[in-house]
Chains A and B, each alone.
Chain A
Amino acid sequence: MQIENRSGEPVVPKLKCPVCEGSVDIPDDALEGELFEHQECGAQLELVIENGQLVLKLAEEVAEDWGE
């Protein structure tokens, strides 16, 4: 499942930061897997869909096989 619209549909609501519980602005054309840095607390967050809901979770840590 992806978030469909680049236009038309209502704007994605503000989501809650899992680290500091502050709110995070997500653009309406965001896709699953997109990274956001929460300005307030500095956390690296990843947008995911859980049970049909958009949520932010702490981004995956860099693994040994990451890169070009």
Chain B
Amino acid sequence: MIIGLAYDILRTEEKLLIDAAKRLGHSVKPIFVPKRIEWLNNTYNEEFRELGFVLERCVSHYRALSSAVILEGRGVPVVNPYRVIRDCGDKLVTTTILASKGIPVPKTVVVYNRDKAIEAARELGYPVVVKPILGSWGRFIARATNEDDLLDILDFRESMNSPHFKIHYIQQYIEKPDRDIRAFYVWGRVPVAIYRYSKRWKTNTALGGKAVKADLSEEQIELVIKSAEAVGGGVLGVDLMETKNGENLVGELNAVIEFRNTVQVTGYDLAGDVVKSTVEVFKK
């Protein structure tokens, strides 16, 4: 099969996927998104006719969204599809969808100005976590242990130019162990997961969190599957937080997965799994 790979920056993950595809006897058509000229009137496109599917790998969320919707408009299956990328790319949307399906998520409130933020946080109880609805790697995620902290964070957010910073997504702070869980969902299965250990409350590996192989319980696996299916499945990263009383809460979903650390510490060939099982799904 010929597999398209839409990307903007070629990272370790993209190289692993390309190598896996070749190893499995497929060929890869790299689609370097920043240099494309896309005529939206051309819904039929000879260039993409031969592709079995495209792996959407843009690191920029808006480039991922744009290139996915354009490719889909031309009849090429994209993994993950535009709608899934959109639903996972915005934390407000993700949490809304998960909560509406009865999936356990931290208590979360959305407000549009500082007065309402203060009011809502009082009801939520401190500490609270404030997150940008767009963004990743723990950037601009802040914890307020009291109202003063929260006011500082709100000042900062209200002075940012991007309109999305004026939508305040405020969440109950979860007292978790010194780790959280990143599980990978691949077409109905959860083949591999890691703990992300850190002394900091933000455990992102981009911030120095240490990845360690995790063996999930039946219950956790079920929760990962349910969460991924809530947005339409495909290939996803699902973050879980363990609470003190043994519950698991879903933190967020990721539609353009980063997995170099997972491969490194588990030895699991996740790139090979993604390619192999996606080929199974789209082979005619």
Contacts and interface: CB of A to CB of B under 8 A. Distances in A.
A60 B59 CA distance: 11
A32 interface: yes
A65 B30 CA distance: 22
B31 to A, nearest CB: 9
B62 interface: yes
Contacts of B60: 63, 65-66
B3 interface: no
B227 interface: no
B176 interface: no
Name the interface size band of chain A: 10 to 19
Contacts of B256: 68
Contacts of B237: 68
B32 A2 contact: yes
A49 B10 CA distance: 14
B245 to A, nearest CB: 29
A14 B62 CA distance: 33
A8 interface: no
User: Does more than half of chain A's interface fall in helix, strand or loop, or is it mixed?
Assistant: loop
A46 B237 CA distance: 27
B11 A68 contact: no
Contact of B30 (A2, A35, A60, A68): A2
B137 A33 contact: no
A65 B9 contact: no
A14 to B, nearest CB: 19
Given A2-B30, A35-B11, A66 B35 contact: no
Nearest to A3: B30
A65 B62 contact: yes
A65 B35 contact: no
A21 interface: no
Q: Which 6 A-B pairs have the closest CB atoms?
A: A67-B136, A68-B254, A65-B61, A34-B10, A33-B10, A32-B32
29 contacts: A2-B30, A31-B10, A31-B30, A31-B32, A32-B10, A32-B30, A32-B32, A33-B7, A33-B10, A33-B32, A34-B10, A35-B9, A35-B10, A46-B9, A59-B9, A60-B9, A64-B135, A64-B162, A65-B60, A65-B89, A66-B60, A66-B135, A66-B137, A67-B136, A67-B137, A67-B254, A67-B258, A68-B255, A68-B258
Given A1-B35, A66-B135, 15 more contacts: A6-B22, A31-B10, A31-B30, A33-B7, A33-B8, A49-B35, A65-B61, A65-B62, A66-B59, A66-B137, A67-B61, A68-B136, A68-B137, A68-B254, A68-B255
Interface of A: 1-2, 6, 31-35, 46, 49, 59-60, 63-68
